Amino acid sequence: MSKCMSLEEAVNLVKDGDSLWLSGGGGGINDPGYLLSGLEKRFLDTGSPAGLTLYHSAGIGDKQGGGADHFAHKGMVRKVVGSHWTWSVNMQKLAMENQIEAYVLPQGVMTQLVREIAAGRPGLITKTGLHTFVDPRVEGGRVNECSKEELSFLFTKDVNDYIFYKSFHLDVALFRGSAADEDGNISFEDEGLMTEALSQAQAVKNCGGVVICQVKRMVERGGIRPDCVAVPGILVDAVVVDSRQRMSMKTEYDETLSGKKRGGLPESEYMPQDNRKVMAKRAAMELKRGDMVNLGFGVPAGVGKVLEESGCQSCIHLSLEQGIIGGVPATGTDFGIAYNPQAIICETNQFDWYDGGGLDVAVLSFAEFDRQGNVNVSKFNHVVNGVGGFINISQNAGRVVFTGTFTAVGLREECKEGRLQILQEGRVQKLVDTVEQVSFSGPYARQTGQPVLFVTERAVFRLADEGVELTEIAPGIDLQKDVLDVMGFEPIVSRYLKVMDPQLFQDIPVKLNL
């Protein structure tokens, strides 16, 4: 008998009080939106399912009521554990108002933890999260006052500290694929990433729960090659078809993002010569031939464009934590997938590789950093944003380059004749005395010997033994007025202070020593 059923039949499988694992990505990527909208409608019509617990390893939503925000109704959820909250603004609001229990765990930890649940193990032991806000000695990942549960505890072996993240029970898995056959075998050939769908389905089935998948189309029994089955039908209880399923909120479908064919980048991926490109160019100068590199959201994603323009893309190995190897990362709301990828692997396996030391360098964004080299990306103005894969990546990479503008809100700059001109200073300091929340620990990086660089559009700093040291300033910038006076702390100024390379500020491909 076919496992395909109507939306109404599928959502009726979810009961009051269930614990759900939802996989997907921000911007509508791999988002089972049709299925989620059905659950939302059922709750609004009947008041059920209520009192749910929701787990999601990545940011899921579109900032327009989609994704996790389909659950953002008073009474529908009682607890949410997620790595990234920025895409689900209505759920953020419930958390900030203490309407729900709310927690943040690292994305890699969550994808690995659901695999531990599938295997019947009690939890995950890892160093990821030590000395950050998810450390049980700090905040334990708790977001608000009503969140009292301890999701982890400190574990010490042979004088080394680890965090033990505890397993939990799951009742329902919700995920998306491309096609399903009558037996419920699921393929992902039209998707831009794999997520942790297999581990998620295995975990829920071994907990005695229900696995529900949304796909774009049904095929006949045996219509999916065995080596193309991402989640076998023995793990799937229900399949719902949404023939209007898009690749993402931004993109209906693009074969160069799914890897079916290779092609040039769309015009929308053009990167103008502005302050963001200055930082992307400068960050690219830190790469070495053969490096395994992770690029984060925002400015770091532009490093892929810089490498392509400079003809050096083949000299290093780009990757994204979502399981992407090679290619050029898409930007904006499509971040997380890539044009012309060499491989798309399971997200969980990608984090295993990262955590074990597979990354030579990570280029990541910062929201703010302080005199100790601590970085915050997870909470500002008392609003939870979460960390995504930031903690796994930043703590476990061989070296880290953080990028971000010097100030924010109202900042206007332009590059002209190889110099940077500040037309209007931003109203918000980003180089502060003490960060609001520790997403990356500078003291811990010094303890482990991890090299750390901070690249802004007007200055470059490094994390030294004595503190944060200023090593470069942009041509056209006044050291006192444009740098020191708009910092919240006094840095060490290098005796060998240099001027940033003028080509960074020119509309030409940067020359890289790769």
- Residue 60 to residues 25, 29, 106, 186, 273, Cα–Cα distance (Å): 5, 8, 14, 21, 31
pLDDT band of 441, cuts 50, 70, 90: very high
Closest to 55 (Cα-Cα) out of 177, 192, 196: 196
Helices (H) and strands (E) in the chain, counts: 11, 34
Q: Where does residue 507 rank: exposed (0-12), middle (13-18), buried (19+ CB within 10 A)?
A: exposed
pLDDT of residue 138: 98
Contact of 24 with 54, CB cutoff 8 Å:
no
What is the model's pTM?
Answer: 0.95
Each residue's pLDDT tens digit, 256-279 = 999 999 998 887 778 899 999 999
Long-range contacts for 117-120 (Cβ within 8 Å, ≥24 apart)?
Answer: 117/167, 117/168, 117/170, 117/203, 117/206, 117/207, 118/199, 118/202, 118/203, 118/206, 120/206
149 is catalytic: no
Task: Please report where in the chains the tokens 């690995």 appear, as a residue.
Answer: 112
Contact of 79 with 17, CB cutoff 8 Å:
no
pLDDT band of 113, cuts 50, 70, 90: very high
pLDDT band of 382, cuts 50, 70, 90: confident
Q: Which two tokens stand for residue 129?
A: 């999260």
pLDDT of residue 338: 94
Cα gap 54→31, rounded to integer Å: 15
Domains 7-241 and 274-299+363-505 share a fold: yes
274-299+363-505 topology per CATH: Glutaconate Coenzyme A-transferase (3.40.1080)
Catalytic residue among 139, 286, 321, 472: 321
Say if residue 421's pLDDT is above 90: yes
Q: Is 3.40.50.300 the CATH number for 7-241?
A: no
Q: Could you state, in order of their start, the residue ranges of all structural domains in the chain?
A: 7-241, 274-299+363-505
- DSSP of 414-469, one letter per residue? EEETTEEEEEE--SEESEESS-SS-SB-HHHHHHHT--EEEE-SSEEEEEETTEEE
CA atoms within 13 A on the CB side of 431: 29
Contact of 467 with 492, CB cutoff 8 Å:
yes
Each residue's pLDDT tens digit, 1-57 = 789 999 999 999 999 999 999 999 889 999 999 999 999 999 999 999 999 999 999
Mean confidence (pLDDT) of the chain: 96
Each residue's pLDDT tens digit, 313-325 = 899 999 999 999 9
